[in-house]
């Protein structure tokens, strides 16, 4: 865009009702992709938009769709489905429908949208589809199911087709469904593809779906700039990773909401049970959980109910010693695996986790793409964020590949900085951690997974009704033998003074930290005296540290990470 003047929303000839909704969302100006794509889409062009994750692509295609529907409604009273928006996962469909809801608050009667991605309630969706809502959002398979069953007809009136997260459509196995679905569409309609990458798959999809498209490939790196998103790495092997994470959380060196990524579903539970022993609460998110539970977890996290999500986004497999199965074997095992995974789920892809300060790669991602998508869960919109990756010797080549990829994009030598952490200063943490990590056995993990499934069954509203009518079935479910989860030792919730690194001992953690960092048996008077000694300069420094999401534990120098 160079020095050209920025085009604002009110200069795009958008309906007043859309402009009011945008101002309610407190979006001061369009993002780069919105500024570029909205005018082209309003002109009626087919567009392939490639813009970095978190750059606002959803509104870039939903605003013109809504505008187009309002225009058509000015000339015709005929009610029909005008736009079909496809996205590969239920979570993403839910998000798109929610953005449309936000943008149509002032014209909700004129523009109706439904989300048909959930596979559970075909009947109610059929009823809603019979009202011919203006916009239908769904996964390709759900859309095809309804088209085949003639619950919706698009042949006559469809005006716009959007495929979001286009780079995932083939890898989620939707190629055939998309091809078949195109047979149910009219000869002429406007088509849009949105993607964070321009992969081979996107280019193939482009050939199938778009005609003479404008390709918007924004000249910007895949991730937010270093002024907004910082990348750190820390070399550590398995036992130490757990100890470091425990120390970082308990010493409040990680502030704000965090997503911790691990390699497998089992490791999600292993880490959750490990942290539980120190009274650090977290919520698990992975593709094996029912879609409704995943959506609820993201929603509650976004509302601030929990600070930590532990997620697995890989279809990775573990060897008995915790190592990684080589990629070729992984592919074979994946094909054989009978364990039910929801193909319409992708934790690190496109989900708009809001106000995430830190992404922590407890296990390093298996490829560059995965790193980019995990990192894209933070620093979204205009927010700040950091990525901290734990890297084992085995994972070093993967990190180097990510580093050289990012460095190319940012045209710089080094993107991933070294995170200063003096592990020897927190030897006591290591000692406690080792026992806690080992206490989480495979059996404890299996039982935790079982327990969670049972809890979800009990939480499920539909089943609650059923259980009210059939109390003996509920009793049967509850009568199962008690679960042997890892025993929580209450003293582990607190960090005694002697465990603190010397440099942090004199610092008063402040009121909000008293639960986390507490002297073992502080004499009340002594404590008051310490507080009195905690001078304004120290407090000032301490508070400055509080504001940064990720702090370096270079306890000798106490240098904040941002300054290294
Ligand atoms: N013009 C704007 N100003 C400020 N914030 C915005 C604007 N447009 C969108 N956002 C916010 O930016 C965040 C990211 O938007 P969105 O989810 O659409 O990104 P995306 O490009 O689709 O990302 P992904 O590729 O990961 O799906 C959202 O929280 C959204 O509310």
Q: What is the mean pLDDT of residues 178-191?
A: 93
Residue 540 pLDDT greater than 80, yes or no: no
| Residue 542 structure tokens | 């301490």
Predicted pLDDT of residue 460: 64
Pair 398, 452 in one domain: no
- Is residue 281 located within the same domain as residue 341? yes
Using the Cα atoms of residue 313, residue 315, residue 318 and residue 323 in order, give the sign of their dihedral: negative
* Nearest residue (CA) to ligand 1, atom 15: 56
Q: What SS3 state is found at 76? A: coil
Contact 289, 460 (CB under 8 A): no
Range picked from 245-254, 506-515, 552-561 for highest mean pLDDT:
245-254
Residue 287 burial class via C-beta count within 10 angstroms: exposed 0-12, middle 13-18, buried 19 and up: buried
Q: CA 499, CA 492: separation in Å to the nearest integer? A: 12
Protein residue with its CA nearest to atom 12 in ligand 1: 381
The finding on whether 346 has its CB within 6 A of some atom of ligand 1 is: no
CB of 118 closer than 6 angstroms to any ligand 1 atom:
no
Residue 118 vs residue 27, higher pLDDT: 27
Last residue of a domain, one of 165, 191, 217: 217
507 Cβ inside 6 Å of ligand 1: no
Q: Are residues 294 and 185 in the same domain?
A: no
Q: What is the CATH number of the domain that holds 288?
A: 3.40.50.300
DSSP string, 140-199: HHHHHHHHHTTS---TTT--EEEESSHHHHTTTT-HHHHHHHHTTS-SS-EEEEEESS--
The more confidently predicted of residues 551 and 315 is 551
With beta carbons less than 8 A apart as the criterion, state whether 394 and 324 touch: yes
Tell me, yes or no, whether 363 lies in a domain: yes
Per-residue pLDDT reduced to its tens digit, 96-114: 999 999 999 999 999 999 9
The reply to whether ligand 1 has any atom less than 6 angstroms from the CB of 88 is no
526 occurs within a structural domain: no
Cα–chain center distance at 285: 9
**From 8-12, 497-501, 526-530, the region with the lowest mean pLDDT:** 526-530
CB atoms under 10 Å from CB of 203, counted, come to 14
Instruction: Supply 444's token pair.
Output: 């404890």
Share of the chain above pLDDT 90, in %: 40
Query: Residue 456 has which token pair?
Result: 């979800």
Tell me the CA–centroid distance for residue 503 and ligand 1, in Å: 41
If you average pLDDT over every residue of the chain, what do you get?
A: 78
- Nearest alpha carbon to residue 368 among 395, 393, 332: 395
Residues 272 and 284 sit within 8 Å (Cβ to Cβ): yes
Would you say 414 and 232 are in contact if contact means Cβ atoms under 8 Å apart? no
- Structure confidence at residue 293 (pLDDT): 73
Nearest atom in ligand 1 to the alpha carbon of residue 95 is 17
Q: Does residue 77 fall inside a structural domain?
A: yes
The DSSP line for 375-440 is HTTSS-TT--EEEEEEE-GGGHHHHHHHHHHHHHHHTSS--EEEPPB-GGGGHHHHHHHHHHHHHS
Q: What is the spatial distance between Cα 521 and Cα 524, in angstroms, rounded to a whole number?
A: 9
Say whether both 436 and 475 belong to one domain. no
Taking alpha carbons only, the member of 143, 121, 83 closest to residue 291 is: 121
Residue 351 has pLDDT above 60, yes or no: yes
> Is 167 in contact with 134 (CB distance < 8 Å)?
no
**pLDDT tens by residue, 131-171:** 999 999 999 999 999 999 999 999 999 999 999 988 888 77
Alpha helices in 460-556 (DSSP H): 461-469, 471-478, 502-505, 524-533, 536-547
Residues 102 and 142 in one domain: yes
Which residue among 30, 52, 54, 223 has the greatest number of ligand 1 atoms within 8 angstroms of its CB, and so is best to mutate? Answer: 54
- Asked if residue 54 has its Cβ within 6 Å of ligand 1, the reply is yes
Between 549 and 279, residue with greater pLDDT: 279
The answer to whether residues 86 and 181 belong to one domain is yes
User: Does 509 sit in the ligand 1 pocket, CB within 6 Å?
Assistant: no
Whether residue 191 is predicted with pLDDT greater than 90 in this model: the reply is yes
135-138, strands of its sheet edge to edge: 113-115, 135-138, 83-86, 160-163, 190-195, 47-50, 214-217
Q: Confirm or reject: Cβ of 138 under 6 Å from ligand 1.
A: no
Ligand 1 atom nearest 196 alpha carbon: 25
* 151 lies in the same domain as 234: no
- Reported confidence tier of residue 365, pLDDT bands at 50, 70, 90: very high
Q: Whose CA is nearest to atom 14 of ligand 1?
A: 54
- Confidence check on the interface: ipTM exceeds 0.95, yes or no: yes
Range 484-503 average pLDDT: 62
CB atoms within 10 A of CB 277: 22
Q: Which residues are within 8 A (CB) of 318 and not within 5 positions of it... i.e. 6 or more apart?
A: 263, 264, 266, 267, 324, 325
User: Same domain, yes or no, for 91 and 163?
Assistant: yes
502 occurs within a structural domain: no
Would residue 406 count as lying in a domain? Answer: yes
Kindly state if the Cβ of 365 falls inside 6 Å of ligand 1.
no
Whether the CB-CB separation of 94 and 113 falls below 8 Å is answered with no
Structure tokens at 408: 């190319």
Q: Can you tell me which atom of ligand 1 is nearest the CA of 354?
A: 29
200-210: pLDDT as tens digits: 888 888 888 88
What values do phi and psi take at 194, rounded to 5? -125, 135
Task: Tell me whether residue 308 is in a domain.
Answer: yes
pLDDT of residue 545: 46
Enclosing domain of residue 15: 2-217
**Which residue, chain included where needed, has tokens 């991605």?**
117
Same domain, 279 and 382: yes
Residue ending a domain, choose from 161, 194, 217: 217
Q: In whole angstroms, what is the distance from residue 22 CA to residue 16 CA?
A: 10
C-alpha of residue 499 to centroid of ligand 1, in Å: 42
Q: At which of 167, 196, 217 does a domain end? A: 217
The predicted structure's pLDDT at residue 451:
81
Which residue CA neighbors atom 16 of ligand 1 most closely?
A: 56
Task: Give domain status of residue 504, yes or no.
Answer: no
34 and 142 together in one domain: yes
Is 246 in the same domain as 201? no
| 418 and 456 belong to one structural domain | no
CB atoms within 10 A of CB 360: 27
Whole-number pLDDT of residue 493: 65
How many domains is the chain partitioned into structurally?
3
- In whole angstroms, what is the distance from residue 107 CA to residue 17 CA? 6
Residue 209 belongs to a domain: yes
């Amino acid at each position: 865009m160079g020095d050209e003047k920025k085009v604002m929303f009110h200069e795009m000839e958008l309906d007043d009702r859309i402009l009011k909704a945008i101002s309610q969302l407190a979006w001061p100006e369009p993002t780069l992709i919105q500024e570029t794509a909205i005018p082209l889409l309003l002109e009626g062009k087919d567009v392939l938009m490639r813009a970095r994750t978190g750059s606002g692509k959803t509104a870039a295609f939903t605003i013109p769709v809504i505008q187009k529907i309002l225009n058509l409604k000015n000339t015709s009273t005929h009610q029909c489905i005008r736009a079909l928006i496809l996205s590969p996962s239920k979570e993403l469909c839910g998000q798109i429908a929610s953005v449309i809801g936000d943008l149509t608050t002032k014209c909700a009667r004129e523009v109706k949208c439904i989300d048909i991605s959930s596979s559970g309630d075909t009947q109610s969706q059929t009823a809603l589809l019979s009202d011919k809502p203006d916009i239908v959002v769904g996964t390709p398979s759900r859309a095809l199911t309804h088209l085949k069953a003639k619950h919706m007809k698009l042949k006559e009136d469809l005006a716009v087709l959007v495929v979001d997260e286009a780079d995932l459509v083939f890898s989620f196995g939707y190629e055939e469904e998309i091809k078949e679905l195109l047979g149910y569409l009219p000869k002429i309609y406007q088509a849009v593809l949105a993607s964070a990458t321009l992969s081979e798959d996107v280019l193939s999809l482009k050939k199938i779906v778009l005609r003479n498209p404008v390709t918007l490939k924004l000249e910007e790196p895949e991730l937010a700039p270093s002024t907004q998103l910082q990348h750190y790495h820390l070399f550590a092997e398995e036992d130490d990773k757990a100890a470091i994470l425990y120390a970082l959380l308990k010493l409040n060196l990680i502030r704000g909401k965090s997503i911790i990524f691990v390699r497998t579903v089992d490791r999600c539970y292993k880490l959750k049970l490990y942290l539980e022993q120190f009274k650090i609460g977290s919520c698990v998110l992975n593709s094996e959980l029912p879609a409704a539970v995943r959506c609820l977890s993201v929603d509650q996290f976004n509302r601030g109910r929990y600070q930590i999500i532990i997620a697995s986004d890989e279809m990775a497999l573990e060897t008995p010693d915790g190592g990684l199965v080589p990629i070729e074997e992984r592919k074979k095992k994946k094909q054989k695996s009978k364990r039910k995974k929801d193909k319409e789920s992708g934790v690190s892809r496109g989900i708009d986790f809001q106000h995430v300060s830190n992404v922590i790669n407890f296990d390093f991602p298996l490829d560059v793409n995965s790193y980019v998508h995990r990192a894209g869960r933070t620093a979204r919109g205009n927010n700040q964020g950091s990525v901290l990756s734990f890297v084992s010797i085995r994972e070093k080549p993967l990190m180097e590949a990510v580093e050289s990829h990012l460095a190319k994009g940012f045209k710089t030598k080094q993107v991933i900085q070294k995170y200063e952490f003096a592990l020897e200063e927190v030897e006591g943490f290591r000692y406690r951690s080792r026992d806690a990590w080992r206490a989480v056995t495979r059996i404890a993990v299996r039982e935790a997974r079982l327990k969670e499934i049972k809890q979800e069954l009990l939480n499920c509203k539909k089943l609650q009704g059923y259980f009210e009518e059939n109390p003996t079935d509920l009793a049967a479910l509850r009568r199962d033998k008690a679960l042997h989860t890892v025993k929580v030792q209450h003293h582990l919730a607190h960090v005694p003074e002697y465990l603190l690194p010397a440099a942090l001992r004199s610092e008063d953690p402040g009121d909000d930290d008293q639960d986390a960092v507490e002297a073992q048996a502080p004499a009340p008077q002594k404590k008051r005296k310490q507080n009195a000694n905690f001078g304004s300069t120290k407090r000032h420094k301490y508070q400055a540290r509080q504001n940064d999401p990720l702090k370096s534990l270079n306890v000798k120098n106490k240098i904040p990470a941002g300054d290294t």
